[in-house]
Each structure stands twice: as C-alpha cells, then as structure tokens.
Amino acid sequence: ATGVDQAVGMSIVVFSLLLFTYYSVWVIVLPFVDSDHILHKYFLPREYSVILPGIAAVILLLCIFMWKNRKPKKVD
C-alpha cells in the first residue's frame, strides 16, 4: 500500500476510535454523572444516543438494499 493509502487508513481508524470513545462515554458513563456537571455540556441529550444510531442503521440498510438490487450495465 502507498503512503497515501496508509494515511487514509490510519485517519479512518483514529476517527472510529474517537467516535467509539465519545459514544461509550455518552451512553455508559454520563447517566451516572450529576446532571449539573460540566461534562454534560459536551454531549447531546440522551434521547439522541438511540435516535442517531437508528438513523445510521436505516441508511446503511438502504444502501445495502440498493447495492444488492442494482442492475448490471449492458455491454454492447
């Protein structure tokens, strides 16, 4: 793999780790922190912790469904 491929791959891994850490703190740790704590201002309301992954799952399933049902191009 080229250097650009490795840089893109590493950036995707770092982004995924940051997103996982943020979501884990939001869902697992934040319910046990007092609601007036300063940490709460860095996170959306708890309802979004279910809504956002649900929307992402629906979009992913739509993309998979559209990919599986695409028609192959005709070669003349």
- pLDDT 10s digits, 14-29: 999 999 999 999 999 9
Q: Cα–Cα distance between 60 and 54 in angstroms, integer?
A: 10
Predicted pLDDT at 59: 97
Q: Is the pLDDT of residue 40 over 80?
A: yes
Burial class (CB in 10 A: 0-12, 13-18, 19+), 25: middle
How do the domains of the chain map onto residue ranges? 3-69
pLDDT band at 71 (very low <50, low <70, confident <90, very high): confident
Question: What is the share, in percent, of the chain residues with pLDDT greater than 90?
Answer: 80
Q: How far is CA 28 from CA 6, 35, 39, 49, 59, in A?
A: 32, 14, 13, 11, 25
Q: What is the mean pLDDT of residues 40-44?
A: 92
